[in-house]
Chains A and B, each alone.
Chain A
Amino acid sequence: MPIRGGLASLWRSAPLIVAATAVLLLITIVLVVYSGERSYRTQKANEAASDARILASTVVAALTFDDRKAAQTYVNALAANPEIAAAAVYDAKGALFASFRRTAQVILPAAAPAVGLSLGGDRITVTAAVLQGRSSVGRVYVREIVEPLAQRYQRYAVIGVFVVMAALVTAVLGIAQSELARTNRQLAEANFSLQSEIASRERAEAAFRQAQKMEAIGQLTGGVAHDFNNILQVVLGNLGLVENQLGAGRIADLRALRSIQAAIRAAERAAVLTRQLLAFSRRQPLEPKPLEVNKLIGGMSNLLHRTLGETIEVESVLGARLWQVLADENQLESAILNLAVNARDAMPTGGKLTIETANAFLDEAYAAREEDVRAGQYVVIAVTDTGTGMPREVIDKAFDPFFTTKDVGQGTGLGLSQVYGFIKQSGGHAKIYSEVGEGTTVKLYLPRLAAAASAAEDRIGGEAPLPRGNREVILVVEDEPDVRDFVGGMLRELGYDVIEAENGSAALKVAEARADIALLFTDVGLPGGLNGRQLAEEAQRRRPGIKILYTTGYARNAIVHQGRLDPGVELINKPFTYAALAARIRAVLDAGALH
């Protein structure tokens, strides 16, 4: 800071200033003493001359009329002035006529001295003529005491000491004053920085509490969702089997088939809910791929129009040369859809939904202000509605699971939590801006994909008949007996030979015994020492050609790191449908065959 620098240099040069001031003071004192000395002598001379003149004029008559007594009276009158050491009157002939001596040491001139002034070290003498008319009738002599030089210098020294002390006091006060002002300024600065530190600490604490809360809720919901997934897997699987068997059977079972299909739809909705819970708890296994966000949003156009209805206008403002991101396409689509649904609900009488995309840079300051955000390059997707908006307290809770402002039965309270969980799991950042009565903008920031990985577009297409097995041997490892039975049954139905194992060690024994195992289908979480990942590695070591397909309902484990699958790992999420499993098994088996 320049001011502080200036002060510091002033402070450093203080001794120089003090020395210069001292020299100046010394010169001033010398000048003062010199001029004081001069004026003192002049004044003394004037006083002596004046005294002599007075005496001369008063003794005219006494001299004229030879009255020594009268002359003596006048001379004695001068004795009242303590500065007069001696006074004398001489007659016209120069003889002493009347005199006064303060002390016996003073010696008077025997004869009248010449008229004039004489300066001695300790005295000033003045001799003046006594004039009567134009003729001199005698002379007067006045001798004044001059204060001894030493005494005068002592006096000057005292004055000098006072001046120096006054100057010193002034200097010290001045320095102290500037020091005080500097300290005050520093104090104010320190206070300001302390206050802003307190504020940022409070923000950080609030963010930390929020994160803790989210984490706790996440753990809870994650656990619940996991259990639900297993249950739903059994329900969905069995319903699928029944549906399949009924579909292949007679027409009389059509009503039962409809019921089964309704049950399947309901169970699938339940599966969506658990997926959303997992999404919020960030424990859903993601399949991030290099993604063109603009392309994805463009592809959602029909879906959005259908979802939002006629009264809501949809506008997309897609940024040019948008960076690629690495994200799970389905989850991102789901997130955007969730936002769109929320927007629709906020605009009951219609309005406009705008989806914008742009490249963005979040700087350090922003990152420091927000919870769990890293500075860097992002692709931002901003979804804006012209709806009712949200007050502050609603914004604060909007990402919490099960928090909803909708009527009972209208919302699950999981939409925005899914968005939040997914974005966080993808290393991004979500932010809500809202004005009550004006509308809401939700911004999703997804980190830019650093390495431009080529996007492998592997969409599994539509309504083709289920791919079937060709008696390939599949080893199914699953600790939940119901799930194991279901999967085994399903695979057998699809035309595969199935060997079941309930844990890793059992599976390894099988793998060692049978050389014809084409695929290992294993749960990631397994009891008994070996988890799915370790089992797969061991199996591949023994049988290098073996294919691996993982499944899990709760992926926070060996194959998922920070919510992402390791490259080359194949996974099917629980709960899965009969069709999905058929497609996936076939795909994994065929993938090897292509190479």
Chain B
Amino acid sequence: MPSRPGAGRLGRAARAAFTATLPGLLAVTVAFAETNPLELAIEATYLVKFGAFVEWPAGAFPTATSPFYLCVAGTHPFGSLLDRAAAGASVDRHPIAIRRLDAVPRDVGCHILFVGAGGQPPLDAALAAVRGKPVLTVTAVPPAEPRKGIVNFVMQNNHVRFAIDDRQAAADGLRISSQLLTLAVNLHSR
């Protein structure tokens, strides 16, 4: 490596960071083995856009302009992608606010909850916690996986698509736009 002062300092810091987050990075690598950055960006964008195609029950928003909470929990690779996608965005007149959660209590107050597989809280627990609540759960697990959110990202022909469990959405008091439903690759209808 040629000795470049900046590079050396940076390399040390990176190395330290890498060492510290190695176990996490490993886990992420395992979970998103096939996920490339473009797909992540797309998924992040989609997360922001789902809100426009879902109807929450009355009372889901305290006021007409109260924030729209887009929560992420568990292990997820979005990083700042999500913040960028949500910057300045809103659902109706509700500005989107990103919340990162370490735990998912029952009254979490999220409108959309992305739960990554692995990490805390566990996928199962997170999904179970909001079952019956008007929360659009989103996951990105393989289609064969039994535990999925209402929306589950899948890859199809190199495109990011999603399956929708409309039955669960109905059970949770959500109405998903038919336009969105028609886009679902595997619709579990109500």
Question: Which of A's residues lie within 8 Å of B, judged by CB?
Answer: 58, 60-62, 64-67, 70, 73, 132-133
Q: Are B52 and A133 in contact (CB under 8 A)?
A: yes
In the complex, B49 has a CB within 8 A of chain A: yes
Q: Are A64 and B42 in contact (CB under 8 A)?
A: no
In the complex, B124 has a CB within 8 A of chain A: no
In the complex, B7 has a CB within 8 A of chain A: no
Which residues of chain A come closer than 8 Å to B162, judged between CB atoms? 65
Q: 10 smallest A-B Cβ distances: which pairs?
A: A61-B179, A67-B183, A64-B49, A61-B180, A70-B183, A65-B183, A61-B183, A132-B52, A70-B182, A61-B53
Q: Are B46 and A65 in contact (CB under 8 A)?
A: yes
Query: In the bound complex, how far is the Cα of B182 from the Cα of A58, in angstroms?
Result: 10
Query: In the bound complex, how far is the Cα of B179 from the Cα of A73, in angstroms?
Result: 12
In the complex, B147 has a CB within 8 A of chain A: no
Q: Are B183 and A62 in contact (CB under 8 A)?
A: yes
Query: In the bound complex, how far is the Cα of B52 from the Cα of A73, in angstroms?
Result: 21
In the complex, B4 has a CB within 8 A of chain A: no
In the complex, B92 has a CB within 8 A of chain A: yes
Chain B residue nearest to A135 in the complex (CB): B89
Q: Which residues of B (17-47) have their CB < 8 Å from a CB of A?
A: 42, 46
Given contacts A61-B53, A70-B182, A132-B52, 6 further A-B contacts (CB under 8 A): A61-B177, A61-B180, A62-B179, A64-B49, A67-B183, A133-B92
Query: Can you list 11 A-B contacts (CB < 8 A)?
Result: A60-B52, A61-B53, A61-B177, A61-B183, A62-B179, A62-B183, A64-B53, A66-B42, A67-B183, A132-B49, A133-B90
A58, A61, A70, A133: residue with the most chain B Cβ atoms closer than 10 Å: A61
Interface size range of chain B in the complex? 10 to 19
Query: In the bound complex, how far is the Cα of B164 from the Cα of A61, in angstroms?
Result: 14
Q: Min CB distance, B145 to chain A, in Å?
A: 22
In the complex, B161 has a CB within 8 A of chain A: yes
Q: Which residues of B (144-170) have their CB < 8 Å from a CB of A?
A: 159-162
Query: In the bound complex, how far is the Cα of B42 from the Cα of A35, in angstroms?
Result: 52
Q: Which residues of B (48-74) have their CB < 8 Å from a CB of A?
A: 49, 52-53
Which residues of chain B come closer than 8 Å to A73, judged between CB atoms? 182
Q: Min CB distance, A324 to chain B, in Å?
A: 127
Q: Are A64 and B52 in contact (CB under 8 A)?
A: yes
Chain B residue nearest to A67 in the complex (CB): B183
Question: Which of B's residues lie within 8 Å of A, judged by CB?
Answer: 42, 46, 49, 52-53, 90-92, 159-162, 177, 179-180, 182-183
Q: Min CB distance, A442 to chain B, in Å?
A: 118
Which residues of chain A come closer than 8 Å to B90, judged between CB atoms? 133
Query: In the bound complex, how far is the Cα of B182 from the Cα of A61, in angstroms?
Result: 9
Query: In the bound complex, how far is the Cα of B89 from the Cα of A132, in angstroms?
Result: 11
Q: Min CB distance, B156 to chain A, in Å?
A: 10
Chain A residue nearest to B179 in the complex (CB): A61
Which residues of chain B come closer than 8 Å to A60, judged between CB atoms? 52, 179
Query: In the bound complex, how far is the Cα of B183 from the Cα of A295, in angstroms?
Result: 138
Query: In the bound complex, how far is the Cα of B159 from the Cα of A70, in angstroms?
Result: 13
Which residues of chain B come closer than 8 Å to A132, judged between CB atoms? 49, 52
Which residues of chain B come closer than 8 Å to A61, judged between CB atoms? 53, 177, 179-180, 182-183
Query: In the bound complex, how far is the Cα of B185 from the Cα of A67, in angstroms?
Result: 11
Q: Min CB distance, A228 to chain B, in Å?
A: 137
Which residues of chain A come closer than 8 Å to B160, judged between CB atoms? 66
Query: In the bound complex, how far is the Cα of B179 from the Cα of A19, in angstroms?
Result: 63
Which residues of chain A come closer than 8 Å to B161, judged between CB atoms? 67
Q: Min CB distance, B183 to chain A, in Å?
A: 5
Which residues of chain B come closer than 8 Å to A133, judged between CB atoms? 52, 90-92
A58, A64, A70: residue with the most chain B Cβ atoms closer than 10 Å: A64
Which residues of chain A come closer than 8 Å to B182, judged between CB atoms? 61-62, 70, 73
Chain B residue nearest to A59 in the complex (CB): B179
Q: Min CB distance, B131 to chain A, in Å?
A: 25
Which residues of chain B come closer than 8 Å to A67, judged between CB atoms? 161, 183
Chain B residue nearest to A65 in the complex (CB): B183
Which residues of chain A come closer than 8 Å to B159, judged between CB atoms? 66
Chain A residue nearest to B181 in the complex (CB): A61
Chain B residue nearest to A62 in the complex (CB): B183
Chain A residue nearest to B48 in the complex (CB): A64
Chain B residue nearest to A73 in the complex (CB): B182
Query: In the bound complex, how far is the Cα of B46 from the Cα of A23, in angstroms?
Result: 68
Which residues of chain A come closer than 8 Å to B42, judged between CB atoms? 66
Which residues of chain A come closer than 8 Å to B49, judged between CB atoms? 64-65, 132
Q: Min CB distance, B20 to chain A, in Å?
A: 37
Which residues of chain B come closer than 8 Å to A66, judged between CB atoms? 42, 159-160
Query: In the bound complex, how far is the Cα of B177 from the Cα of A14, in angstroms?
Result: 71
Query: In the bound complex, how far is the Cα of B42 from the Cα of A67, in angstroms?
Result: 12
Which residues of chain A come closer than 8 Å to B92, judged between CB atoms? 133
Q: Min CB distance, A56 to chain B, in Å?
A: 12
Chain A residue nearest to B88 in the complex (CB): A135
Chain B residue nearest to A137 in the complex (CB): B49
Q: Are A58 and B179 in contact (CB under 8 A)?
A: yes
Query: In the bound complex, how far is the Cα of B52 from the Cα of A60, in angstroms?
Result: 10
Query: In the bound complex, how far is the Cα of B182 from the Cα of A62, in angstroms?
Result: 9
Query: In the bound complex, how far is the Cα of B183 from the Cα of A102, in angstroms?
Result: 25
Query: In the bound complex, how far is the Cα of B177 from the Cα of A132, in angstroms?
Result: 13
Query: In the bound complex, how far is the Cα of B92 from the Cα of A415, in angstroms?
Result: 133
Q: Min CB distance, A571 to chain B, in Å?
A: 139
Which residues of chain B come closer than 8 Å to A64, judged between CB atoms? 49, 52-53
Which residues of chain B come closer than 8 Å to A65, judged between CB atoms? 46, 49, 162, 180, 183
Which residues of chain B come closer than 8 Å to A58, judged between CB atoms? 179
Which residues of chain A come closer than 8 Å to B91, judged between CB atoms? 133
Query: In the bound complex, how far is the Cα of B164 from the Cα of A67, in angstroms?
Result: 15
Query: In the bound complex, how far is the Cα of B157 from the Cα of A465, in angstroms?
Result: 174
Chain A residue nearest to B182 in the complex (CB): A70
Query: In the bound complex, how far is the Cα of B185 from the Cα of A356, in angstroms?
Result: 132
Query: In the bound complex, how far is the Cα of B30 from the Cα of A102, in angstroms?
Result: 49
